[in-house]
Amino acid sequence: MKRTLITLVTLALLLSTLACERRGGGGGGGDDTGPIKVGIYGDLSGQTSSFGQSTKNGAVMAIDEINAAGGINGRKVEYVMEDDQGQPAQAATVVTKLINQDRVHAVLGEVASTNSLAAAPKAQEAKVPMITPSSTNPKVTQVGDYIFRVCFTDDFQGAVAAKFASNTLKAKKAAILGDFNSDYSKGMSQYFVQEFTAAGGQIVERQTYTQTDADFKGQLTAIRAAAPDVIFVPGYYGQVGVIAKQAKELGITAPLLGGDGWDAPQLWDLGGAALNGAYMVNHYSVDDPSPAVQKFVAAYKAKYGGTAPDAIAALGYDAMNVLADAIRRAGTTESAKLRDAIAQTKNFAGVTGAISINESRDAVKPAVVFELRDRKFVYKETIQPPGAPATAAASPGASPAAPASSPAVMPSNTAAGAEGGAAGSSANANAAGASGGAAGNTNR
Protein backbone atom coordinates (compact mmCIF):
# COMPACT_ATOMS: atom_id res chain seq x y z
CA MET A 1 0.00 0.00 0.00
CA LYS A 2 2.73 2.40 1.01
CA ARG A 3 4.82 1.44 -2.03
CA THR A 4 1.86 1.94 -4.36
CA LEU A 5 1.26 5.35 -2.85
CA ILE A 6 4.88 6.40 -3.33
CA THR A 7 4.91 5.17 -6.95
CA LEU A 8 1.70 7.00 -7.73
CA VAL A 9 2.88 10.27 -6.20
CA THR A 10 6.21 10.09 -8.07
CA LEU A 11 4.40 9.40 -11.32
CA ALA A 12 2.03 12.29 -10.72
CA LEU A 13 4.92 14.68 -10.10
CA LEU A 14 6.78 13.52 -13.20
CA LEU A 15 3.72 13.87 -15.40
CA SER A 16 2.92 17.30 -14.09
CA THR A 17 6.40 18.55 -15.04
CA LEU A 18 5.89 17.22 -18.56
CA ALA A 19 2.57 18.99 -18.80
CA CYS A 20 4.15 22.34 -18.07
CA GLU A 21 4.65 24.29 -21.25
CA ARG A 22 6.14 27.70 -21.25
CA ARG A 23 3.47 29.89 -22.68
CA GLY A 24 3.63 33.42 -23.85
CA GLY A 25 6.27 35.10 -25.92
CA GLY A 26 7.64 31.85 -27.33
CA GLY A 27 11.06 33.42 -27.11
CA GLY A 28 13.94 31.15 -28.00
CA GLY A 29 17.45 31.72 -26.83
CA GLY A 30 16.68 35.25 -25.78
CA ASP A 31 14.79 38.29 -26.89
CA ASP A 32 17.70 40.53 -27.67
CA THR A 33 20.62 38.23 -28.35
CA GLY A 34 21.20 34.91 -29.95
CA PRO A 35 19.89 33.71 -33.26
CA ILE A 36 16.43 34.65 -34.42
CA LYS A 37 14.36 31.52 -34.95
CA VAL A 38 11.61 31.52 -37.53
CA GLY A 39 9.22 28.63 -37.96
CA ILE A 40 7.86 27.99 -41.44
CA TYR A 41 5.09 25.49 -42.02
CA GLY A 42 3.47 24.44 -45.26
CA ASP A 43 2.37 21.58 -47.45
CA LEU A 44 5.50 19.90 -48.79
CA SER A 45 4.11 16.50 -49.68
CA GLY A 46 0.33 16.67 -49.96
CA GLN A 47 -2.27 17.76 -52.47
CA THR A 48 -1.07 21.37 -52.54
CA SER A 49 2.64 20.67 -52.25
CA SER A 50 3.58 23.28 -54.85
CA PHE A 51 2.42 25.97 -52.41
CA GLY A 52 4.53 24.76 -49.50
CA GLN A 53 7.59 24.31 -51.66
CA SER A 54 7.26 27.79 -53.20
CA THR A 55 6.71 29.47 -49.84
CA LYS A 56 9.78 27.71 -48.48
CA ASN A 57 11.88 28.72 -51.47
CA GLY A 58 10.86 32.37 -51.17
CA ALA A 59 11.28 32.59 -47.41
CA VAL A 60 14.62 30.74 -47.37
CA MET A 61 15.97 32.99 -50.11
CA ALA A 62 15.06 36.01 -48.00
CA ILE A 63 16.72 34.44 -44.96
CA ASP A 64 19.91 33.69 -46.88
CA GLU A 65 20.04 37.24 -48.18
CA ILE A 66 19.53 38.63 -44.69
CA ASN A 67 22.24 36.44 -43.21
CA ALA A 68 24.64 37.28 -46.01
CA ALA A 69 24.13 40.97 -45.18
CA GLY A 70 25.04 40.32 -41.55
CA GLY A 71 21.72 39.32 -40.03
CA ILE A 72 19.20 41.53 -38.26
CA ASN A 73 20.70 43.85 -35.63
CA GLY A 74 23.70 41.56 -35.77
CA ARG A 75 21.69 38.42 -35.08
CA LYS A 76 21.59 35.56 -37.54
CA VAL A 77 18.29 34.11 -38.66
CA GLU A 78 17.66 30.39 -38.36
CA TYR A 79 14.59 28.63 -39.62
CA VAL A 80 12.76 25.37 -38.98
CA MET A 81 10.55 24.07 -41.80
CA GLU A 82 7.69 21.73 -40.99
CA ASP A 83 5.51 19.78 -43.39
CA ASP A 84 1.80 19.74 -42.61
CA GLN A 85 0.89 17.58 -45.65
CA GLY A 86 -1.96 19.94 -46.45
CA GLN A 87 -4.06 18.67 -43.54
CA PRO A 88 -5.54 21.21 -41.12
CA ALA A 89 -5.06 18.94 -38.11
CA GLN A 90 -1.40 18.47 -39.05
CA ALA A 91 -1.01 22.23 -39.47
CA ALA A 92 -2.16 22.81 -35.91
CA THR A 93 0.17 20.06 -34.66
CA VAL A 94 3.29 21.30 -36.39
CA VAL A 95 2.74 24.88 -35.31
CA THR A 96 2.36 23.70 -31.72
CA LYS A 97 5.62 21.82 -32.12
CA LEU A 98 7.37 24.84 -33.61
CA ILE A 99 6.25 27.02 -30.75
CA ASN A 100 6.80 24.66 -27.84
CA GLN A 101 9.73 22.54 -28.95
CA ASP A 102 11.67 24.70 -31.37
CA ARG A 103 10.77 27.87 -29.47
CA VAL A 104 10.50 30.04 -32.55
CA HIS A 105 10.08 33.79 -32.28
CA ALA A 106 7.59 33.97 -35.13
CA VAL A 107 5.78 31.66 -37.53
CA LEU A 108 5.34 32.00 -41.30
CA GLY A 109 2.57 30.11 -43.06
CA GLU A 110 0.29 28.71 -44.42
CA VAL A 111 -0.98 29.18 -47.94
CA ALA A 112 -4.29 27.31 -47.82
CA SER A 113 -6.70 29.27 -45.65
CA THR A 114 -8.20 26.13 -44.11
CA ASN A 115 -4.79 25.17 -42.74
CA SER A 116 -4.01 28.68 -41.55
CA LEU A 117 -7.33 28.80 -39.74
CA ALA A 118 -6.49 25.55 -37.96
CA ALA A 119 -3.03 26.71 -36.89
CA ALA A 120 -3.67 30.38 -36.10
CA PRO A 121 -5.40 29.76 -32.76
CA LYS A 122 -2.28 27.94 -31.56
CA ALA A 123 -0.06 30.89 -32.40
CA GLN A 124 -2.52 33.37 -30.93
CA GLU A 125 -2.81 31.42 -27.70
CA ALA A 126 0.94 31.22 -27.30
CA LYS A 127 1.29 34.88 -28.30
CA VAL A 128 3.71 34.10 -31.09
CA PRO A 129 3.28 36.39 -34.11
CA MET A 130 2.18 34.53 -37.23
CA ILE A 131 2.40 36.03 -40.70
CA THR A 132 0.59 34.19 -43.44
CA PRO A 133 2.13 34.96 -46.81
CA SER A 134 -0.75 33.85 -49.02
CA SER A 135 -3.91 32.91 -47.11
CA THR A 136 -6.63 35.14 -48.48
CA ASN A 137 -9.72 34.21 -46.48
CA PRO A 138 -10.65 37.18 -44.26
CA LYS A 139 -11.32 34.93 -41.26
CA VAL A 140 -7.63 34.10 -40.83
CA THR A 141 -6.58 37.44 -39.35
CA GLN A 142 -9.79 37.63 -37.35
CA VAL A 143 -8.48 34.82 -35.13
CA GLY A 144 -6.51 37.28 -33.05
CA ASP A 145 -4.17 40.24 -32.91
CA TYR A 146 -1.03 38.15 -33.34
CA ILE A 147 -2.06 36.96 -36.80
CA PHE A 148 -1.08 39.01 -39.85
CA ARG A 149 -1.04 38.63 -43.61
CA VAL A 150 0.91 40.27 -46.43
CA CYS A 151 -1.52 39.57 -49.26
CA PHE A 152 -4.96 40.79 -50.19
CA THR A 153 -8.12 39.15 -48.92
CA ASP A 154 -10.84 37.21 -50.69
CA ASP A 155 -13.48 39.87 -50.30
CA PHE A 156 -11.28 41.91 -52.61
CA GLN A 157 -10.17 39.01 -54.80
CA GLY A 158 -13.66 37.61 -55.30
CA ALA A 159 -14.92 41.08 -56.16
CA VAL A 160 -12.04 41.59 -58.64
CA ALA A 161 -12.99 38.37 -60.38
CA ALA A 162 -16.65 39.36 -60.48
CA LYS A 163 -15.85 42.81 -61.84
CA PHE A 164 -13.54 41.34 -64.46
CA ALA A 165 -16.24 38.88 -65.49
CA SER A 166 -18.95 41.49 -65.86
CA ASN A 167 -16.91 44.45 -67.14
CA THR A 168 -14.25 42.87 -69.32
CA LEU A 169 -15.71 39.51 -70.26
CA LYS A 170 -19.18 41.09 -70.45
CA ALA A 171 -20.68 38.01 -68.84
CA LYS A 172 -24.32 38.09 -67.80
CA LYS A 173 -24.61 34.54 -66.52
CA ALA A 174 -22.04 32.78 -64.40
CA ALA A 175 -21.73 29.27 -62.99
CA ILE A 176 -19.63 28.39 -59.96
CA LEU A 177 -17.73 25.14 -59.42
CA GLY A 178 -16.22 25.28 -55.93
CA ASP A 179 -14.12 23.11 -53.65
CA PHE A 180 -16.41 21.89 -50.93
CA ASN A 181 -13.80 21.54 -48.19
CA SER A 182 -11.78 24.67 -48.75
CA ASP A 183 -12.50 27.84 -46.79
CA TYR A 184 -10.67 29.75 -49.49
CA SER A 185 -13.02 28.43 -52.15
CA LYS A 186 -16.13 29.03 -50.10
CA GLY A 187 -15.11 32.60 -49.28
CA MET A 188 -14.22 33.38 -52.89
CA SER A 189 -17.54 31.98 -54.12
CA GLN A 190 -19.45 34.03 -51.60
CA TYR A 191 -17.78 37.33 -52.52
CA PHE A 192 -17.97 36.60 -56.24
CA VAL A 193 -21.72 35.98 -56.02
CA GLN A 194 -22.18 39.19 -54.00
CA GLU A 195 -20.33 41.37 -56.46
CA PHE A 196 -21.53 39.67 -59.63
CA THR A 197 -25.19 39.93 -58.72
CA ALA A 198 -24.69 43.54 -57.60
CA ALA A 199 -23.32 44.26 -61.08
CA GLY A 200 -26.50 42.86 -62.59
CA GLY A 201 -25.31 39.35 -63.38
CA GLN A 202 -27.06 36.10 -62.66
CA ILE A 203 -25.65 32.93 -61.11
CA VAL A 204 -27.14 30.12 -63.18
CA GLU A 205 -25.59 27.08 -61.56
CA ARG A 206 -23.59 26.21 -58.44
CA GLN A 207 -21.76 22.92 -58.13
CA THR A 208 -19.12 21.61 -55.77
CA TYR A 209 -16.45 18.92 -55.74
CA THR A 210 -14.01 17.48 -53.22
CA GLN A 211 -10.25 17.29 -53.61
CA THR A 212 -10.32 13.51 -53.95
CA ASP A 213 -12.84 13.46 -56.79
CA ALA A 214 -11.47 11.85 -59.92
CA ASP A 215 -14.28 12.82 -62.21
CA PHE A 216 -15.89 16.24 -62.61
CA LYS A 217 -17.97 15.50 -65.67
CA GLY A 218 -21.17 15.10 -63.67
CA GLN A 219 -20.87 18.62 -62.29
CA LEU A 220 -19.62 20.03 -65.59
CA THR A 221 -22.48 18.49 -67.56
CA ALA A 222 -24.98 20.12 -65.23
CA ILE A 223 -23.12 23.42 -65.64
CA ARG A 224 -23.08 23.05 -69.40
CA ALA A 225 -26.84 22.58 -69.41
CA ALA A 226 -27.26 25.98 -67.72
CA ALA A 227 -25.28 27.69 -70.53
CA PRO A 228 -23.23 30.20 -68.51
CA ASP A 229 -21.05 32.92 -70.08
CA VAL A 230 -18.23 32.27 -67.62
CA ILE A 231 -17.43 29.54 -65.11
CA PHE A 232 -15.86 30.60 -61.83
CA VAL A 233 -13.58 27.88 -60.44
CA PRO A 234 -12.03 29.18 -57.19
CA GLY A 235 -10.14 26.03 -56.36
CA TYR A 236 -6.60 24.68 -56.17
CA TYR A 237 -4.42 23.79 -59.13
CA GLY A 238 -4.55 20.03 -58.55
CA GLN A 239 -8.21 19.88 -59.49
CA VAL A 240 -8.54 22.95 -61.71
CA GLY A 241 -6.19 21.51 -64.33
CA VAL A 242 -8.30 18.38 -64.65
CA ILE A 243 -11.53 20.40 -64.61
CA ALA A 244 -10.30 22.45 -67.55
CA LYS A 245 -9.41 19.29 -69.44
CA GLN A 246 -12.73 17.62 -68.80
CA ALA A 247 -14.67 20.78 -69.57
CA LYS A 248 -12.98 20.90 -72.97
CA GLU A 249 -13.90 17.27 -73.57
CA LEU A 250 -17.52 18.08 -72.88
CA GLY A 251 -17.37 20.85 -75.45
CA ILE A 252 -17.79 23.69 -72.96
CA THR A 253 -16.72 26.96 -74.59
CA ALA A 254 -17.36 29.37 -71.72
CA PRO A 255 -14.04 30.60 -70.27
CA LEU A 256 -12.93 29.53 -66.82
CA LEU A 257 -12.06 32.16 -64.22
CA GLY A 258 -10.19 31.60 -61.00
CA GLY A 259 -7.97 32.97 -58.26
CA ASP A 260 -4.49 32.63 -56.82
CA GLY A 261 -5.14 28.99 -55.92
CA TRP A 262 -4.35 28.18 -59.54
CA ASP A 263 -0.78 29.38 -59.29
CA ALA A 264 1.50 26.37 -59.67
CA PRO A 265 3.53 24.87 -62.55
CA GLN A 266 1.62 21.59 -62.15
CA LEU A 267 -1.51 23.39 -63.34
CA TRP A 268 -0.16 23.22 -66.88
CA ASP A 269 0.93 19.58 -66.52
CA LEU A 270 -2.60 18.61 -65.60
CA GLY A 271 -4.60 20.91 -67.85
CA GLY A 272 -2.37 21.39 -70.87
CA ALA A 273 -3.88 23.14 -73.85
CA ALA A 274 -7.35 23.01 -72.29
CA LEU A 275 -6.35 25.95 -70.10
CA ASN A 276 -5.88 28.33 -73.04
CA GLY A 277 -8.38 31.14 -72.80
CA ALA A 278 -8.91 30.83 -69.05
CA TYR A 279 -8.39 33.79 -66.72
CA MET A 280 -7.04 34.07 -63.20
CA VAL A 281 -6.55 36.70 -60.55
CA ASN A 282 -3.16 36.78 -58.86
CA HIS A 283 -0.86 38.77 -56.60
CA TYR A 284 1.98 39.70 -58.92
CA SER A 285 3.37 39.23 -62.38
CA VAL A 286 6.73 37.60 -62.95
CA ASP A 287 7.05 39.72 -66.10
CA ASP A 288 6.63 42.98 -64.21
CA PRO A 289 9.44 45.14 -65.65
CA SER A 290 10.09 47.09 -62.46
CA PRO A 291 13.74 46.69 -61.40
CA ALA A 292 12.93 45.35 -57.93
CA VAL A 293 10.83 42.52 -59.33
CA GLN A 294 13.29 41.62 -62.06
CA LYS A 295 16.17 41.57 -59.57
CA PHE A 296 14.16 39.22 -57.39
CA VAL A 297 13.24 37.00 -60.35
CA ALA A 298 16.86 36.79 -61.52
CA ALA A 299 18.15 35.98 -58.04
CA TYR A 300 15.46 33.34 -57.53
CA LYS A 301 16.21 31.71 -60.86
CA ALA A 302 19.91 31.68 -60.06
CA LYS A 303 19.29 30.10 -56.67
CA TYR A 304 16.73 27.53 -57.71
CA GLY A 305 18.01 26.21 -61.01
CA GLY A 306 16.14 28.37 -63.50
CA THR A 307 12.61 28.09 -62.11
CA ALA A 308 10.78 31.38 -62.16
CA PRO A 309 9.17 32.43 -58.87
CA ASP A 310 5.40 32.14 -58.76
CA ALA A 311 3.25 34.50 -56.69
CA ILE A 312 3.39 32.14 -53.72
CA ALA A 313 7.18 32.24 -53.66
CA ALA A 314 7.19 36.02 -54.03
CA LEU A 315 4.79 36.33 -51.11
CA GLY A 316 6.91 33.98 -49.00
CA TYR A 317 9.88 36.21 -49.74
CA ASP A 318 7.92 39.35 -48.85
CA ALA A 319 6.52 37.83 -45.65
CA MET A 320 10.00 36.99 -44.39
CA ASN A 321 11.26 40.45 -45.28
CA VAL A 322 8.33 42.13 -43.55
CA LEU A 323 9.12 40.08 -40.46
CA ALA A 324 12.79 41.02 -40.66
CA ASP A 325 11.91 44.68 -41.09
CA ALA A 326 9.63 44.52 -38.05
CA ILE A 327 12.36 42.90 -35.96
CA ARG A 328 14.75 45.62 -37.05
CA ARG A 329 12.32 48.35 -36.06
CA ALA A 330 11.39 46.73 -32.76
CA GLY A 331 15.02 46.08 -31.94
CA THR A 332 13.95 42.88 -30.19
CA THR A 333 12.09 39.65 -30.78
CA GLU A 334 10.04 40.00 -27.61
CA SER A 335 6.60 38.93 -28.74
CA ALA A 336 4.45 41.94 -27.78
CA LYS A 337 6.93 44.49 -29.17
CA LEU A 338 7.42 42.41 -32.31
CA ARG A 339 3.68 42.14 -32.78
CA ASP A 340 3.34 45.91 -32.51
CA ALA A 341 6.18 46.48 -34.97
CA ILE A 342 4.58 44.17 -37.53
CA ALA A 343 1.25 45.95 -37.07
CA GLN A 344 2.94 49.27 -37.82
CA THR A 345 4.38 48.16 -41.17
CA LYS A 346 3.70 50.97 -43.65
CA ASN A 347 4.59 51.10 -47.34
CA PHE A 348 7.12 48.30 -47.11
CA ALA A 349 8.53 47.79 -50.60
CA GLY A 350 7.83 44.18 -51.34
CA VAL A 351 8.22 42.48 -54.71
CA THR A 352 4.47 41.90 -54.74
CA GLY A 353 3.73 45.57 -54.15
CA ALA A 354 3.76 48.10 -51.33
CA ILE A 355 2.73 46.34 -48.13
CA SER A 356 0.94 48.31 -45.43
CA ILE A 357 -0.72 46.46 -42.58
CA ASN A 358 -4.09 47.95 -41.71
CA GLU A 359 -6.21 47.72 -38.53
CA SER A 360 -7.54 44.29 -39.40
CA ARG A 361 -3.95 43.12 -39.88
CA ASP A 362 -4.42 42.65 -43.63
CA ALA A 363 -2.39 44.15 -46.44
CA VAL A 364 -4.14 46.38 -48.94
CA LYS A 365 -2.67 45.56 -52.35
CA PRO A 366 -3.68 45.57 -55.99
CA ALA A 367 -4.54 42.44 -57.91
CA VAL A 368 -3.50 41.48 -61.43
CA VAL A 369 -5.63 39.55 -63.88
CA PHE A 370 -3.99 37.17 -66.33
CA GLU A 371 -5.13 35.25 -69.34
CA LEU A 372 -3.69 31.76 -69.63
CA ARG A 373 -2.19 30.98 -72.98
CA ASP A 374 0.38 28.41 -74.09
CA ARG A 375 1.76 27.75 -70.64
CA LYS A 376 2.17 31.45 -69.94
CA PHE A 377 0.29 33.95 -67.86
CA VAL A 378 -0.46 36.87 -70.12
CA TYR A 379 -1.08 40.13 -68.31
CA LYS A 380 -4.53 41.62 -68.82
CA GLU A 381 -5.09 44.32 -66.25
CA THR A 382 -4.39 45.54 -62.73
CA ILE A 383 -7.15 46.36 -60.31
CA GLN A 384 -6.44 48.67 -57.40
CA PRO A 385 -8.14 48.11 -54.09
CA PRO A 386 -10.39 50.81 -52.67
CA GLY A 387 -8.33 53.24 -50.61
CA ALA A 388 -5.07 52.36 -52.32
CA PRO A 389 -2.00 54.22 -51.00
CA ALA A 390 -1.48 57.59 -52.66
CA THR A 391 1.62 56.52 -54.57
CA ALA A 392 -0.51 54.57 -57.00
CA ALA A 393 -2.91 57.36 -57.85
CA ALA A 394 -0.50 60.28 -57.91
CA SER A 395 1.62 59.73 -60.95
CA PRO A 396 -0.27 59.68 -64.28
CA GLY A 397 1.10 62.99 -65.58
CA ALA A 398 4.38 62.88 -63.74
CA SER A 399 5.42 59.38 -64.64
CA PRO A 400 8.90 59.26 -66.09
CA ALA A 401 9.02 58.03 -69.64
CA ALA A 402 8.15 54.40 -69.62
CA PRO A 403 6.49 54.41 -73.02
CA ALA A 404 6.25 50.68 -73.42
CA SER A 405 3.89 50.55 -70.54
CA SER A 406 1.13 52.59 -72.09
CA PRO A 407 -2.07 50.56 -72.32
CA ALA A 408 -2.36 51.07 -76.05
CA VAL A 409 0.79 49.10 -76.62
CA MET A 410 -0.32 46.19 -74.47
CA PRO A 411 -2.14 44.11 -77.09
CA SER A 412 0.80 44.05 -79.46
CA ASN A 413 3.05 43.18 -76.62
CA THR A 414 1.01 40.17 -75.77
CA ALA A 415 0.98 39.12 -79.37
CA ALA A 416 4.68 39.62 -79.87
CA GLY A 417 6.19 37.31 -77.41
CA ALA A 418 3.43 36.35 -75.08
CA GLU A 419 5.65 38.00 -72.55
CA GLY A 420 2.88 40.26 -71.36
CA GLY A 421 3.09 42.23 -68.18
CA ALA A 422 4.54 45.28 -69.86
CA ALA A 423 2.29 47.54 -67.87
CA GLY A 424 2.45 45.24 -64.95
CA SER A 425 4.62 47.81 -63.27
CA SER A 426 1.42 49.51 -62.28
CA ALA A 427 0.78 46.55 -60.09
CA ASN A 428 3.83 47.47 -58.13
CA ALA A 429 3.31 50.76 -56.39
CA ASN A 430 6.86 50.63 -55.24
CA ALA A 431 7.74 53.13 -52.60
CA ALA A 432 10.44 54.36 -54.97
CA GLY A 433 7.58 55.80 -56.97
CA ALA A 434 9.43 55.48 -60.23
CA SER A 435 7.09 52.87 -61.53
CA GLY A 436 5.41 54.39 -64.54
CA GLY A 437 2.04 53.59 -65.90
CA ALA A 438 -0.11 54.00 -62.88
CA ALA A 439 -2.52 54.85 -65.63
CA GLY A 440 -2.99 51.09 -65.74
CA ASN A 441 -6.67 50.40 -65.46
CA THR A 442 -8.07 51.44 -62.20
CA ASN A 443 -11.25 49.52 -62.47
CA ARG A 444 -12.89 50.69 -59.35
Write down how long the chain is.
Answer: 444
Least distance to another protein, CB of residue 6, Å: 42
Closer by beta carbon to another protein, 43 or else 318: 43
- CA quadruple 74, 77, 78, 83: dihedral, nearest 10: 170
- Looking only at Cα atoms, what is the longest distance across the chain? 92
State the nearest-atom distance from the C-beta of 264 to another protein, in Å.
Answer: 10
Q: Where are the alpha helices (DSSP H) in 28-137?
A: 49-68, 88-100, 113-125
CB of 431 to another protein, least distance (A): 37
84 or 371, CB closer to another protein?
84
Taking the complex as a whole, the smallest distance from the CB of residue 72 to another protein amounts, in Å, to 33
Peptide bond just before 371 cis, omega within 30 deg: no
* Spatial separation of the C-alpha atoms in residues 285 and 280, rounded to whole Å: 12
The distance of closest approach from Cβ of residue 52 to another protein in the complex, given in angstroms and rounded to an integer, is 9
Nearest to another protein of 16, 253 (CB atom): 253
Cβ distance to another protein smaller for residue 11 or 250: 250
The CA R_g of the chain, rounded to the nearest whole Å, is 23
Going from the C-alpha of 188 to that of each of 161, 422, 429, the distances in angstroms are 9, 28, 25
Please say whether the beta carbons of 152 and 138 come within 8 A.
no
Closest approach, Cβ 375 to another protein, in A, equals 13
Nearer to another protein, 34 or 277 (CB): 277
- Closer to another protein at the Cβ: 119 or 274? 274
- Amino acid found at 69: A
Residue among 362, 328, 324 nearest 343 (CA)? 362
Cβ atoms of 383 and 424 closer than 8 Å? no
Q: 70 or 265: whose CB is closer to another protein?
A: 265
Helices 291-303 and 49-68, axial angle in degrees (round to 10): 100
Q: Which is nearer to another protein, 222 or 404 (CB)?
A: 222
Q: Do 93 and 121 meet the contact criterion of CB atoms below 8 Å apart? A: no
3-state secondary structure of 126: coil
User: Measured from the CB of residue 46, what is the shortest distance to another protein in angstroms?
Assistant: 5
CB of 306 to another protein, least distance (A): 20
Tell me how many degrees the CA angle 75-81-82 measures, rounded to the nearest 5: 145
Interface residue list for another protein (CB under 8 A): 45-47, 49-50, 85, 180, 207-210, 212-215, 217-219, 221-222, 224-225, 238-239, 241-242, 245-246, 248-251, 266, 269-270, 272
